[in-house]
Amino acid sequence: MRKLLPYLKEYIRECILAPGFKMLEACFELIVPIVIASLIDRGIGDGDIPYIYLMIVVLFVLAIVGCAVAITAQYFSAKAAIGFATKLRLVLFKHLMNLSYPDIDEVGTSTMITRMTSDVNKVQTGVNMFLRLFLRSPFVVFGAMFMAFTIDFTSALIFVAAIIGIGGVVFFLISKNIPALRQVQNRLDEVTNSTRESLTGLRVLRAFRLESKAIDDFKDVNGNYFDAQTRAGNISALMNPLTYVLINLATAGVIYLGGIKVSMGTLTAGQVIALYNYMSQILVELVKLANLIVTLNRALASSRRISDILDISPSMEDGIGAAEAGNRQKSCDSEDIQSGRAPYIEFNNVSFAYPGAGEESLSDVNFHVNRGETVGVIGGTGSGKSTLVNLIPRFYDVTKGSVRIDGIDVRDYRVAELRRIVGVVKQKAVLFKGSIADNLRMGDENVSLEDMEKAIADSQSGVIVDGKGGIEAEVEQGGRNFSGGQRQRLSIARTLAYKPDILILDDSSSALDYATDLQLRRAIRNLEYKPTVFIISQRTGSIRYADKIIVLDDGRVAGIGTHDELLDNCEVYREIHSSQLTGKEA
């Protein structure tokens, strides 16, 4: 929790005023039993009617002022807690946005969602309860004990014994409850992950008639969450009964001892009632304190989980910038780099393995691409095609070797600078809620209407935009009001709109028919600004006219060349091409 406290700095005033007003409220409560004792002993005992009315007015004033003070304290504590949670969510979201692909893969999407929602809410509740009760309850407990000593020393010793006994019970249960609550949150991660996975893959589950299996799997995960909740709940459930038993025994002791002393004349009836009221206040406050401690345990467990995420440093450090890196290299590299004759994109002895993977996904990859060329990448499933192009915008860092753009290692570019010159269109097209225009401006918020219309035309999305009512047509969350092919074309338009120097199409036309795919490739080939294009495809027909085709086989380069050259000298490419021919063509 200490790591999260800096986000409360903006609310120091509220953090001081909230407990301050609560302490003031507690002072008024501690005065009430003394007023009642005086009312009984002097007003009722002596038959002093005016004094009785005076004490009633005093009690009424104490109630009104105490209520106003309590409401003020609630306001400041709620303001601090909500502001703190809002700031924490923003910081956490920014941190998650700065994590690299390997970091996100390691943490897991469901875990990040749970941290942003459930854990932050629990911390918010914990801060609110802490400001309201953590100082107030102990103050009332020890204040009531002190007031009891001012009335009768012997009776006050019962208060001391009760407080010590209840404190021991509370701290024992806390030590058992914290690990159980941490386990509850871990099980909640599993429930969130199972729910997200099932809902995302709902169509696949239905296609394979696996609804019942998904329900059974969720039942197991949910059952584990239930068991963890039950264990934690059983420990928490002991808190109130045990504290009630101890405090009621102490109350009975106070009444019994008070009765004896009243009969002996050492205590008055009003003083005994005052002691009883103080014991009742202690009972109420200790129950509140016990519940507060359970809440704080949950908040602390959640704060540790949030801190664990914030402690993750992005595994990829930002580069020094292309300009500085270029000047540094030109002073020591070859004449080709100094003269600008070096290849635009180079893969030099590149190998890559995903974190935790047993073997490399890419091994000893070497090739170069000149500016403005169109490069096709093809290979069997799992051959490393997407992994290869993911290294260009530095979604992942190479394990060995280097990837260079314009003679500069991609690790030397600033990430924002690199992503500005590299545009990627993934196979799984994702659109965001808003309008079509909002989605097209994602690469550059200042993109002109003319450029958007050109991107729509080049991506073959004109019929989509016209059919939806224009460029300001609404896009629902995830683009669910568009078909798969429509989402793919609009995703391509979104990337084309900001004119990246390097355009990567990662099997991004898989949902398109052959005629539309052909028109799309023709439009990209005729782009005025001539980007360097990488086309990843399963179809040889989609890349046959590329300037260069890279064939991957199990993470290694099986061949590089044109379509005709590879048919002559690359067995892997020949097999892929032959498998896609019709019987007559074969």
Given a contact cutoff of 8 angstroms between Cβ atoms, the answer to whether 73 and 21 are in contact is yes
What's the pLDDT at 338?
45
CA-to-CA distance for 23 and 330, rounded, in angstroms? 69
Distance of CA 357 to the CA centre of its chain: 25
What's the pLDDT at 71?
92
CA-to-CA distance for 508 and 40, rounded, in angstroms? 86
Residue 559, beta-bridge partner list? 551
- Asked if domains 5-310 and 325-579 share a fold, the reply is no
Given a contact cutoff of 8 angstroms between Cβ atoms, the answer to whether 508 and 429 are in contact is yes
Two structure tokens written together for 301 = 């467990």
Most confident of 68-77, 175-184, 252-261, 287-296: 68-77
Superfamily the domain 5-310 falls into: ABC transporter type 1, transmembrane domain (1.20.1560.10)
Give, as one character, the DSSP assignment of residue 508.
T
Two structure tokens written together for 392 = 């260009």
CA-to-CA distance for 274 and 269, rounded, in angstroms? 9
Q: What is the pLDDT of residues 238-278, one digit of tens each?
A: 877 887 788 788 888 888 888 888 888 788 888 888 888 88
Of the listed ranges 18-22, 118-122, 362-366, 510-514, the one predicted with least confidence: 510-514
What's the pLDDT at 76?
93
What's the pLDDT at 328?
59
Instruction: Return the residue matching tokens 């105490």.
Output: 66
Given a contact cutoff of 8 angstroms between Cβ atoms, the answer to whether 136 and 22 are in contact is yes
What's the pLDDT at 326?
66
Q: Which CATH class is domain 325-579?
A: alpha beta
Q: Work out the burial of residue 148: count CB atoms within 10 Å of its CB; fewer than 13 is exposed, 13-18 middle, 19 or more buried.
A: buried
Closest CA to 177 of 36, 290, 51: 290
Domain segments of the chain: what residues?
Answer: 5-310, 325-579
pLDDT(582) > 60: no
What's the pLDDT at 327?
63
Top pLDDT among 496 and 141 is at 496
pLDDT(90) > 80: yes
Residue 63: its H or E element: helix 49-98
Phi, psi of 396 (to 5 degrees): -135, 155
pLDDT(428) > 80: yes
Residue 234: its H or E element: helix 211-237
What's the pLDDT at 83?
92
Of the listed ranges 172-176, 313-317, 322-326, 558-562, the one predicted with least confidence: 322-326
Q: What is the pLDDT of residues 46-59, one digit of tens each?
A: 777 888 888 889 88
Q: What is the pLDDT of residues 297-333, one digit of tens each?
A: 788 888 888 888 888 887 778 777 766 766 655 544 5
pLDDT-based confidence at residue 398 (cuts at 50, 70, 90): very high
Percent of the chain with pLDDT over 90: 27
Asked whether the whole model's pTM tops 0.85, one would answer no
Q: What is the pLDDT of residues 438-456, one digit of tens each?
A: 999 988 888 899 999 999 9
Instruction: Return the residue matching tokens 């027909």.
Output: 541
